[in-house]
């Protein structure tokens, strides 16, 4: 930022450093609401989950949620229990493959370090999204416990980053088939250009539980086949297949304190799962359609949802479905057929009043029965432009989908009815309806500069002043022409962030955290001499081993960098003995905390690696000492 502009900002009493000088913001929850929220967070007898469809919230009794999880995990076709987790043994297997990738120059050192992921990875966690849209008579316990969609949270695991690596290569290959649909709008573009015979039948097909029913051997073979079909010398096929096999066959996870292994299919939480499933389905449909005596006139697929046009008899359609259903024992399908209209994705395709003349289908928005229209309340804590943007985006979606104006207006009325129940005024909604197609935007030849902050009324006022000052600066100085400032607000935590967790809390009282009180994970550490900021490379606790840690004095900010091959708890028992009991140890660390007290000690684990040798750990320690400038007198490390 130019110094002239910095001076202009400072003269108005604003901060460009984000150092926390903005006035305190009153919470938008009442004290009673805050207390209720804390009670919900502490209540271990309930489990709160978003519904699988429809934006509803489901509150389970803890025993009901665990019953459904145990019911699913007892199916030995898909899962098997483990006496202990296997992910610690997976880490060196992944490391060896990444070493080969680096040796072959497919990746560099920084990429290898990124792909290794967390130095102290966490176990994957199994959770379920309740399918309350299913008929209550067909629930796992009729009218009591709905079935759950199984998901394994992969974030922070030992293979999370390698799943990203696999997805990078699979995604471009997963779209190279004739039936591919990118999204709803791609489907609409394709449908608008096709001619439909007058007596044609419309149909949709849904694959039952696709992700969990893909046989691992067949899925890997499908990936091998697509690699062979589209050769690329810059693609490390051997290593990709090795990593894919590890991700699929060593997908262990934790649920209610017990560990399980998925032995069939892939978890929905894997980054590459959609591309992997798309590749498998492309191979399945190629061979399945080739076996059908009669085929559809049109056939499009979005992952596990299929739309088509049938121009033969109903009996021949039954033969077609039976051929698809028996082609692969792991893939079962459900179909819907109609001579006038079918629902697909978020659209309804139908033969409209002009169909006999044009032979083109009409399209309108499809609202599922489970759609609760749970859109943002007008009283929510968001910038004012957010509410207008929400309405405008929905209207634009309706406009792009609907081919007839009366269908667009009908969808808009449904939306407005739901929004008025959430505090939106009629006049506000009418204004949005009149102006949603307004093409106004930034002038051509201008570049946006985002001003990123977390939303609050004071931040909005500050952003407004920065925006105006910047405009004055550009006009008066002639510098940075064609640029303008736009506030970009981060999302504040909502109730979902506060209350929904993948892990089911134990009913047992947690162990005492007094010995853990000194461990504090920091988002960043600052070298006090050159003001450079460094981010810890991991999170750690009292049980972390083979690590480099930073001790920081809470009173003065002075720092010390240390290393240990033992657990952090054992190492700090030694530190505490030296400071609290021994007292005659003549080191800068001990002498400093004799003055400031043991209660001022705060610790952050900055790096850990279970494979480190003593020499490697010492090198990492010296690197952090250099980064943070902690040698005496600037810090507490000995010279």
Rounded to whole angstroms, what are the CA distances from 486 to 14, 236, 435, 450, 459?
Answer: 17, 42, 21, 5, 13
- The alpha helices in 22-128, defined as continuous H runs, are 31-42, 62-73, 87-103, 109-116
Identify which of 95, 99, 96, 117 has the alpha carbon closest to the alpha carbon of residue 108. 99
Q: Identify whether residues 448 and 543 lie together within a single domain.
A: no
Provide the terminal-to-terminal Cα distance of the chain, rounded to the nearest Å.
Answer: 38
The pLDDT assigned to 583 comes to 61
- The answer, yes or no, to whether residue 102 has pLDDT greater than 60, is yes
Per-residue model confidence (pLDDT) at position 2: 43
**Residue 575 domain flag:** yes
518 pLDDT exceeds 70?
no
Q: Would you say residue 584 lies in a domain?
A: yes
At residue 88, the pLDDT reads 87
pLDDT given at position 180:
94
Specify if 234 maps to a domain.
no
Q: Which helix (H) or strand (E) holds 318?
A: helix 314-327
Q: Are residue 570 and residue 525 in the same domain, yes or no?
A: yes
When pLDDT is averaged across residues 124-151 and rounded to a whole number, the result is 91
Are 406 and 472 in the same domain? no
Reply yes or no on whether the pLDDT at 431 is more than 80. yes
pLDDT confidence of 548, banded at 50, 70, 90?
A: very high
Q: How remote is the C-alpha of 456 from its chain's centroid?
A: 25
Q: In whole numbers, what is the pLDDT of the chain averaged over residues?
A: 86
Q: Would you say residue 522 has pLDDT above 80?
A: no
Q: Please give the DSSP secondary-structure letter assigned to residue 136.
A: G
Strand duo 447-454 + 362-365: pairing: unpaired
Reported confidence tier of residue 544, pLDDT bands at 50, 70, 90: confident
pLDDT given for residue 116 in this prediction: 87
Q: How confident is the model at residue 505 (pLDDT cuts 50, 70, 90)?
A: confident
Which of 510, 535, 551 lies at the terminal end of a domain, its last residue? Answer: 510
- Which has the higher per-residue pLDDT, 555 or 304? 304
CB 188 within 8 A of CB 401: yes
CA distances from 77 to 35, 74, 312, 467 (A): 45, 9, 38, 60
Q: Any idea which residue has 């792991």 for tokens?
A: 330
More confident residue, 68 or 23: 68
CA distances 42 to 32, 129, 607, Å, are: 15, 21, 32
pLDDT in tens, 327-357: 999 999 999 999 999 999 999 999 999 998 9
Q: Are 130 and 60 in contact (CB under 8 A)?
A: yes
pLDDT of 22 reads 41
> Is 109 within a domain?
no
Per-residue pLDDT band at 26 (split at 50, 70, 90): low
Burial 376-410, CB ≥16 within 10 A → b, else e: beeeeebbeeebeebbbebbebbeebbbeeebbee
Last residue of a domain, one of 450, 482, 510: 510
Torsion of the alpha carbons at 265, 269, 275 and 279, rounded to the nearest 10 = 0
554 within 8 A of 602, measured Cβ to Cβ = yes
Of 432, 460, 488, the domain-final residue: 432
- Domain residue limits at 391: 384-432
pLDDT of 558 higher than 50: yes
Together in a domain, 475 and 546: no
Domain shared by 623 and 522, yes or no: yes
624 and 531 fall within a common domain: yes
- Say yes or no: 392 and 425 in one domain: yes
Do residues 533 and 469 share a domain? no
Residue 377 included in any domain: no
**Residue 379 scores a pLDDT above 50:** yes
Are 518 and 624 in the same domain?
Answer: yes
Q: What is the mean predicted confidence (pLDDT) over 469-488?
A: 86
Residues whose CB falls within 8 Å of the CB of residue 418, separated by 6 or more in sequence, listed in order: 373, 375
State the average pLDDT over residues 596-603.
84
- Kindly tell me if the per-residue pLDDT of 320 is higher than 90: yes
Distance CA 629, CA 608 (A): 20
* pLDDT at res. 445: 65
Helices 160-174 and 109-116: crossing angle in degrees, nearest 10, is: 110
Q: Is the pLDDT of residue 512 over 60?
A: no
**Average pLDDT value for residue range 574-603:** 81
pLDDT above 70 covers a percentage of the chain that reads: 91
Mean pLDDT of 580-604: 81
Helix (H/G/I), strand (E/B), else coil: 114: helix
What is the number of domains present in the chain?
3
- pLDDT score at 133: 84
pLDDT at position 23: 44
Give the residues across from 561 on adjacent strands: 550
Confidence category of residue 519, pLDDT binned at 50, 70, 90: low
Is the same domain home to 398 and 462?
no
**Rounded to whole angstroms, what are the CA distances from 563 to 116, 203, 502, 507, 619?**
21, 65, 33, 36, 10
**Are residues 612 and 551 part of one domain?**
yes
User: Residue 105 above 80 pLDDT?
Assistant: yes
In a domain, 328, yes or no: no
598-631 in b/e form (b: 16+ CB < 10 A) is eebbbbbbbbbbeebeeeebeebbeebbeebbbe
Query: Is residue 452 located within the same domain as residue 401?
Result: no
Residue 459 lies in a domain: yes
Do the Cβ atoms of 115 and 165 come closer than 8 Å?
yes
pLDDT of residue 537: 83
Distances (CA, A) of 94 to 88, 242, 245, 254, 413: 11, 9, 11, 20, 54
Residue 268 lies inside a defined structural domain of this protein: no
Instruction: Report the length, in residues, of the chain.
Output: 639
What's the CATH number where 526 sits? Answer: 3.40.1440
Distances (CA, A) of 365 to 368, 392, 393, 419: 10, 16, 14, 17
């Amino acid at each position: 930022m130019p110094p002239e502009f910095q001076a202009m900002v400072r003269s108005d009493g604003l901060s460009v450093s984000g150092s926390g000088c903005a006035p305190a913001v009153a919470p938008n929850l009442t004290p009673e609401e805050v207390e209720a929220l804390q009670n919900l967070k502490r209540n271990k007898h309930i489990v709160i989950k978003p519904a699988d469809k429809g934006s509803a919230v489901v509150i389970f009794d803890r025993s009901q949620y665990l019953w459904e999880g145990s019911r699913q995990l007892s199916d030995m076709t898909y899962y098997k229990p483990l006496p202990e987790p296997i992910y610690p043994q997976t880490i060196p297997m992944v490391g060896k493959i990444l070493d080969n990738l680096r040796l072959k120059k497919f990746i560099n050192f920084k990429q290898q370090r990124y792909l290794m992921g967390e130095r102290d990875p966490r176990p994957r966690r199994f959770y379920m999204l309740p399918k309350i849209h299913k008929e209550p008579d067909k629930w796992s316990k009729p009218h009591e416990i709905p079935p759950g969609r199984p998901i394994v949270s992969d974030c922070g695991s030992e293979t999370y980053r390698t799943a990203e690596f696999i997805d990078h290569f699979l995604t471009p290959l997963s779209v190279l088939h004739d039936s591919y649909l990118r999204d709803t709008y791609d489907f609409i573009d394709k449908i608008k250009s096709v001619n439909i015979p007058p007596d044609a039948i419309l149909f949709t097909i849904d694959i039952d539980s696709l992700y969990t029913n893909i046989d691992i051997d067949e899925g890997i073979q499908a990936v091998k086949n697509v690699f062979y079909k589209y050769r690329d010398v810059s693609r490390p096929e051997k290593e990709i297949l090795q990593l894919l096999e590890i991700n699929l066959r060593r997908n262990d996870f934790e649920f209610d304190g017990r560990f399980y292994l998925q032995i069939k299919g892939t978890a929905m939480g894997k980054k590459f799962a959609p591309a992997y499933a798309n590749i498998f389905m492309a191979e399945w449909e190629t061979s399945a359609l080739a076996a059908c005596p009669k085929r559809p006139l049109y056939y499009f697929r979005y992952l596990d949802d299929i739309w088509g046009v049938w121009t033969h008899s109903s009996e021949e359609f039954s033969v077609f479905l039976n051929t698809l259903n028996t082609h692969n024992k792991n893939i079962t399908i459900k179909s819907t057929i109609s001579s006038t209209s079918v629902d697909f994705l978020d659209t309804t395709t139908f033969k409209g009043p002009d169909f006999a003349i044009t032979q083109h289908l009409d399209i309108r928005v499809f609202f599922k029965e489970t759609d609760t229209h749970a859109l943002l309340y007008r009283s929510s804590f968001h910038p004012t432009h957010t509410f207008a943007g929400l309405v405008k985006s929905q209207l634009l979606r309706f406009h792009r989908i609907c081919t007839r104006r009366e269908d667009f207006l009908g969808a808009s009325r449904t939306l407005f009815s739901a929004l008025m129940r959430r505090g939106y005024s009629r006049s506000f909604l009418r204004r949005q309806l009149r102006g949603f197609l307004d093409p106004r935007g930034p002038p051509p030849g201008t570049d946006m500069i985002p001003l990123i902050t977390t939303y609050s009324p004071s931040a909005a006022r500050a952003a407004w002043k920065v925006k105006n000052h910047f405009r004055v600066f550009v006009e008066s100085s002639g510098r940075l022409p064609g640029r303008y400032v736009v506030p970009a607000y981060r999302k504040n935590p909502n109730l979902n962030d506060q209350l929904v967790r993948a892990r089911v809390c134990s009913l047992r009282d947690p162990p005492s955290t007094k010995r853990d009180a000194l461990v504090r994970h920091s988002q960043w550490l600052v070298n006090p001499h050159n003001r450079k900021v460094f981010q810890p490379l991991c999170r750690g606790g009292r049980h972390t081993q083979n690590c480099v840690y930073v001790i920081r004095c809470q009173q003065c900010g002075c720092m010390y960098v240390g290393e240990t091959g033992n657990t952090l708890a054992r190492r700090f028992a030694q530190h505490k003995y030296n400071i609290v009991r021994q007292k005659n140890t003549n080191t800068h660390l001990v002498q400093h905390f004799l003055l400031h007290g043991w209660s001022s000690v705060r610790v952050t684990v900055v790096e850990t690696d279970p494979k480190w040798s003593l020499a490697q750990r010492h090198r990492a320690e010296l690197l952090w000492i250099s980064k943070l400038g902690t040698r005496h007198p600037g810090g507490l490390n000995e010279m």
